[in-house]
Amino acid sequence: MIRQLALLTATIALATAPLHADPIPVRQTQGSMHGFLQIRSEGGIIIGHGELIQTAHGSRVTTELLLHFKDGSTDDETATFTQEHTFSLVSDHHVQKGPYFPKPLDMLVEANGQITTKTIDKDGKEQVETQHLDLPPDISNGIIGPLLLNAPSATDPFKLSMVAPVGKGRLIKLAVNSEGEQTFSVVGMTRKARVYRLHIDLGGVVGVVAPIVGKQPDDVHIWVIEGTAPESVRVVQQLYGGGPVVSIELAGATFPHAK
């Protein structure tokens, strides 16, 4: 139910230019849905809740993931994509604000390659900056969920491209690998999900230096129920560079948590 999995754009503190890759073919079309989520700390404490609202009109799909934290902070990401033969991003708008986030985020990624970021200067005035990037066809901002559900193979590693919120926006790569299955429970029933690890591949000199200086983002873990109707049910990640690890989960489900 966590189809958007869009928050990955906020976990990245460093980046480098990626290799281009082909878009993912459509095997499981996405439709309209409304899901309810809970946000837990690494120790399992509920720190907020969320909703995922997705609407489909023909081959065009819009999905919004809105997270509310107990301190009043919000994380709101709306992505639009098409699903004709392959998945193609139309736009992704990600906004983070409130005391939970050390720095507010407002970044718009458009399919034509225009990246728009908004910041507030020291005088409280809004500053708008734009740049153009040549986006590869496998750009994944806001649509990692549908892409994982349509992965060519559950076990073969692959990579995706993403615009990271670094400066005015920078292209990076996500290396996706399966880590096998894990169990969880929902309404008293035990279920299995495949766990994918997404590693932010910085590459080059940046990739060597980042772990040494403590700026390599933590890997992201995504839990997916397989079968005739696959669905993502959990994301474990940082919501911003250097931030604590949280779990965004299907409401009512129980997963193992660190103590």
pLDDT digits (tens, 9 = 90+) for 55-86: 999 999 999 999 999 999 999 999 999 999 99
- Looking at residue 151, its pLDDT comes to 82
The strand pair at 231-238 and 245-250 is best described as antiparallel
- Does residue 18 surpass a pLDDT of 60? no
Tracing tokens 């902070």 back to the chain, one arrives at 73
Contact 97, 73 (CB under 8 A): yes
Alpha helices in 31-175, H assignment, sequence order: 144-149
Contacts of 73 (CB under 8 A, 6+ apart): 48, 96, 97, 98, 99, 100, 101
In CATH, the architecture of 6-254 is Beta Barrel (2.40)
Average pLDDT value for residue range 136-148: 94
- Its pTM stands at 0.87
Task: Calculate the average pLDDT of the chain.
Answer: 86
